[in-house]
Chain A
């Protein structure tokens, strides 16, 4: 057999297929205590079939796999709604400090004063930024923040003996977690339409809002990257019927220091620390989705809430708390990173984040609008939703354009969301990217538009230069193979 020379070839065999009996990557110390009796053998298992590989093989295997990923550290990643900004390295270092990474969640409060003080300071900063001073850092991601917020809304109505309120009004442009969280909270989802400008249809909202309305869930800015011009009217409509306004704060990156959600009539919101506050997304988490509320609603917050007392800092349970939505105190290491980010930027830095995020998105929009349709023809906030409807008519779908971008080392925009936009390509550049990067992206998007006519097969079959070409997702779902098996 001849071995062909391809430095780029990658060995993707799974760990179990690399396993060689007797190899090891690690040794444990010998026991230093007198030998203890083992339990009856009926309790005990035979071997656990885990891989047997050397330490170098562990390192090389995972290092090589890492190189198959696009990431913020290596690529422009304009994934709309996901705020893929620079994740400062110092944040990771600080979260790993001894004294932060190695403390146990059930240690007595007096032994973790620094940790609780940090949580309290972060709560205060988030309360200040959103204008909603009651804060719990317990939720482990945006969706859990939503759920916590809905539990608070329900508890508030119940406490007023107003338990007939079982409807959540949600715009048709909402993220899927909004209706899913509402259903978990036992609420019936009623959909409010968007108008032709991409705003919530005020007339429709007025028709839907009534004495059954528990909560109106609104994303601010909207998932179309737009600020609702009628926001004060929308929140008033809901308050007038006795409902609460929930803001999905996934898009908070547009608002830092520019406007406070609390000033707009929002009662409850969440924020994704893994978006606006720069904590790394990790390929799908961990996240953190703090929930912020008005003073009036603070007594319902999920536990714990960090508080300052005369005896120092404590983790407290609010008086009418909706309870424990997870095991301990939320994503502490993520909170450390987010706090470091706020401290590093300070007030002016935070304002500058949103300013630059908004300018960058509008710049891209201005430079591409002659080639791509816009979901709404007006200035956007921190992201612009393009539509590939024109390209679709010429035979190339949004999906194809997204895949073709990968060939240029640019991650695809968010596709087919929001669902109300045909062939949506949602582009969020963030403040982290330089003008050169934006110009390069613009040039590539324009070239792909040319390719739609000049070389359609290039676009249809993209990507060409990645570790794999398009994958057969239908077979993956029809005949699921979900783990390694011996054969």
Chain B
């Protein structure tokens, strides 16, 4: 449920690095606690986001949560599929349900995140 190749934040977002591009989404824990995701509000491509700053919102039928970026940088892509069919966030949170891609400004920020083994115990 919490792949080893990802890094995790305590706000329940994950990061997958491809070169200096950080792909970001929410964890299984986050999507299960929200329930059926019905809407995601994502920023425009080209805007900057700081580490741990709010970059959007995710909604289920009866709850809203802020999305916080685990790393800082320029947003280079947002997932249109998640906007058009928010259910992908429930179905494949680590795959087609990703949310944004960020050009990483400072690689050392990754050190502020948890690996799978550290993240999982925080959920209990």
Contact = CB atoms under 8 A, between A and B. Distances in A.
* Contact flag (A, B; Cβ within 8 A): yes
A474 B35 CA distance: 9
A477 B86 CA distance: 10
B2 interface: no
B31 to A, nearest CB: 13
18 contacts: A416-B62, A473-B36, A473-B61, A474-B35, A474-B36, A474-B38, A474-B60, A474-B61, A474-B87, A477-B38, A477-B39, A477-B59, A477-B61, A478-B38, A478-B39, A478-B85, A478-B86, A478-B87
Chain A CB within 10 Å, residue with most, of B35, B36, B39, B87: B36
A477 B85 CA distance: 11
Nearest to A473: B61
Give the top 7 A-B pairs by smallest Cβ distance, nearest first. A474-B36, A477-B38, A473-B61, A478-B38, A474-B38, A477-B61, A474-B61
A30 B60 CA distance: 54
Contacts of A416: 62
A424 to B, nearest CB: 14
Chain A CB within 10 Å, residue with most, of B38, B59, B60: B38
Contacts of A474: 35-36, 38, 60-61, 87
A309 B35 CA distance: 60
Interface residues of A, number: 5
Contacts of A477: 38-39, 59, 61
A421 to B, nearest CB: 16
Contacts of B60: 474
Contacts of B59: 477
Interface string A467-487: 000000110011000000000
Contacts of A478: 38-39, 85-87
A478 B39 CA distance: 7
Interface in B11-63: 35-36, 38-39, 59-62
Interface of A: 416, 473-474, 477-478
A473 B61 CA distance: 7
A416 B61 CA distance: 14
Nearest to A416: B62
Contacts, number: 18
A41 B87 CA distance: 49
Nearest to B38: A477
Contacts of B36: 473-474
Interface in B54-96: 59-62, 85-87
B94 to A, nearest CB: 21
A477 B37 CA distance: 9
Nearest to A472: B36
B26 to A, nearest CB: 17
Contacts of A473: 36, 61
A473 B85 CA distance: 15
A137 to B, nearest CB: 34
A474 B85 CA distance: 11
B35 to A, nearest CB: 8
A45 B106 CA distance: 60
A446 to B, nearest CB: 28
Contacts of B62: 416
A473 B35 CA distance: 11
B25 to A, nearest CB: 18
B24 to A, nearest CB: 22
B97 to A, nearest CB: 14
Interface in B87-113: 87
A416 B62 CA distance: 11
A477 B59 CA distance: 10
A2 B62 CA distance: 43
A477 B62 CA distance: 10
Given A474-B35, A478-B39, 11 more contacts: A416-B62, A473-B36, A473-B61, A474-B60, A474-B61, A474-B87, A477-B39, A477-B61, A478-B38, A478-B86, A478-B87
Nearest to B35: A474
Nearest to A474: B36
Nearest to B85: A478
A473 B36 CA distance: 9
Nearest to B61: A473
Contacts of B86: 478
Contacts of B39: 477-478
A478 B35 CA distance: 13
A6 to B, nearest CB: 32
A473 B87 CA distance: 13
B7 to A, nearest CB: 30
A474 B59 CA distance: 10
Contacts of B85: 478
Chain A CB within 10 Å, residue with most, of B35, B59, B60, B61: B61
Nearest to B86: A478
A482 to B, nearest CB: 14
Nearest to B87: A478
A473 B60 CA distance: 10
